[in-house]
Structure 1
Amino acid sequence: MIGIMGAGAFGTALAVALALGGRDVVLWARDPEAVARMKRTGENPRLPDVPLPENLTVTDDIGSLAGDFPVLLAVPMQKLRDAVRDHAGVLDRRPLVACCKGIELTTGRGPSQVLAEELPDATPALLTGPSFAADIARGLPTALTLACAHGPCAEELQNALSAPALRLYRTEDVTGAETGGAMKNVIAIASGAAIGAGYGESARAAVMTRGYAEMVRLAVARGAEEHTLAGLSGFGDLALTCTSTLSRNYRFGISIGEGQSFDPNVTVEGAATARAVQEASKALGVEMPITQVVVALIDGKVDMETALGMLLSRPLKEE
């Protein structure tokens, strides 16, 4: 049995993939009306034309997640703490896999740190890497990173959460995986802004490359292994998110570059993460010029021309 908290596109996609892989899956949603609609139509409107398998149970009863089986937490980063705190009695003392990417704005903590603080008797893990919900749900080949500091549990989770087209690689460097997943959203905003402003593909490549350097600096300063960022949770996710309009963060960046408004109902994790990263980098003494520019753009303190000038006027140095 696998439990999933959060019936958004990504949580539902994971539920579908695991169910088709032969697992019995319980997918919990907090909205009874959404649950009733999914039961009635056999699909989630956030994933149109993707049938829900028979061995996937959709429910709004949090008690359905009770047990000793793993639970995937497919909720936004900024709502993770409240979600596990509200349902601590059901979630504690078991493997919990955060499926969100980012850094908590109020504390500077990553997903696994939030889980460890709120549920100290649980075993925290992280599922991250280059993936779109639609690809996973349709069985398209996808590779992800499973980060867990507890080796035996990591192996069990790797086996439990793998599916025919969903390949998981495990690492014990949770901090590195978390930092990559958080930073790629920030750099995706910058990459989208470069394209939206008409600066071209070469400019985007430069933003991605120098953004990767920022990602590595921050991760190492937080205690991560540098090589982790060269994997799926770092470089892999960066490459996907900075180049596809399926990425909400990239589309948000494009809207900034074009000077257009963006749908406020669409969650853009990179916006809050950029602010959290900026504060964390100050405390750690890490230089993060692209992140600083992204925050300034989001807050409307600079326009694209000024932002470009801020980056191009930096001192020349070795790469």
Structure 2
Amino acid sequence: MDWDKLRIFHAVADAGSLTHAGERLNLSQSAVSRQIRALEEGLNSTLFHRHARGLILTEQGELLFDATRAMTKRLEAAAARIRDSEEEVFGVLKVTTTTGFGTLWLAPRLTKLYDKYPDLKIDLMLEERVLDLPMREADVAIRMKEPSQADLIRKRLMTVQMQLYASQDYLRRHGTPEDIADIADHRLICQTPSAPQVGAGALMVQQLMANNPHSLLSVNNYFGVLQGVLHDLGIGALPDYLTEDFPHLVRVLPEIESGEVPVFLAYPEELRHSKRISAFRDFVQDEIISHRKQLRQLGKI
């Protein structure tokens, strides 16, 4: 099968338009159209339904697009490995992690990585959905459980626990709870029960909800929970990795905490020798060592 025709087909399928695909490829609309017709004739199959607003893939077109998408991701992986020189770290590194960990722990520390590797470009994708690393939806992931996908290199980084925190001003106005039953006199701030989250955190919140908090604020990520706590709205269920960066928060009901949640770093086997992956992995490990040292100095571990 002709690689040029497949490349053009992929651009058209991705753009949904001959004109837009031609602009991406620096080809005229007529040239793109001729290549698509030739590909359809060679396959003896119609790949697009044509209508006034653009192009829609046929069932056969969807099958071919799945194949070209996989090919494109593999080629991107190969190109990334080729671009990684023996001494330099540069280019785009696609990193995925949860919204909470990415906004509250990882992003604030990236200055150190950029200082060391100014030519590195980080594409940070924050979402609870687990992206497909072997299919190159991302290059490297930090997740709150061990990845189950095959052909991945995994490294356990640390463990986190969900604990309860409040601001000093909130506690001055509303008092400090002495036991879990006192939650009935306070506003609980937690992640929305229906939102994707680690099971250990959900179980802790269920335990608290059973004690009928006076009021409730639920948010679909821990960044929102933290903002509620910082603005004196109530007692929040938050991950313990925040204690270094927000030392003025007060931990309440210290006997109430979740089970330990493992944090894993993972990346595809085929990127084992990537300089960008190595640089990012080493940076994260160094930051965790520094994080734990700070916690020891604060008497938190």
Q: Same fold (TM over 0.5)?
A: no
TM-score where L is the length of structure 1? 0.31
Q: Specify the structure having the higher radius of gyration (Cα).
A: 2
Greater per-residue strand proportion: 2
Greater per-residue helix proportion: 1
TM-score where L is the length of structure 2? 0.32
